[in-house]
Structure 1
Amino acid sequence: MSRMIFVNLPVADLGRSRTFLEALGAVNEPKFTDDTAACMQFSDSIFVMILTHEKFSGFTPRPIADARTGSEVLICLSADSREQVDSFIERGVAAGGTADPSPKQDYGVMYGRSVANPDGHIWEVMWMDAAAANEGASAIDTNATQEA
Structure 2
Amino acid sequence: MTDLTDRLLDMTVGIVANYVSSNRLNADEIGGFIKSVHQSLATAGTAIVEDKAAKTLRDAEVRKLITPQGIRSLIDGRTFKSLRRHIGAHGYTPESYREAFGLPVDFPMVAAVYSAERSASAKAMGLGAGGRQGKKAKVQQKPKLKRRQARER
> Does the pair score TM above 0.5?
no
- Which is bigger in relative contact order (C-alpha 8 A, separation at least 6)? 1
**TM tier, shorter chain?**
under 0.3
What is the TM-score normalised by the length of structure 2? 0.23
Q: Which has the higher helix share?
A: 2
Structure with greater Cα Rg: 2
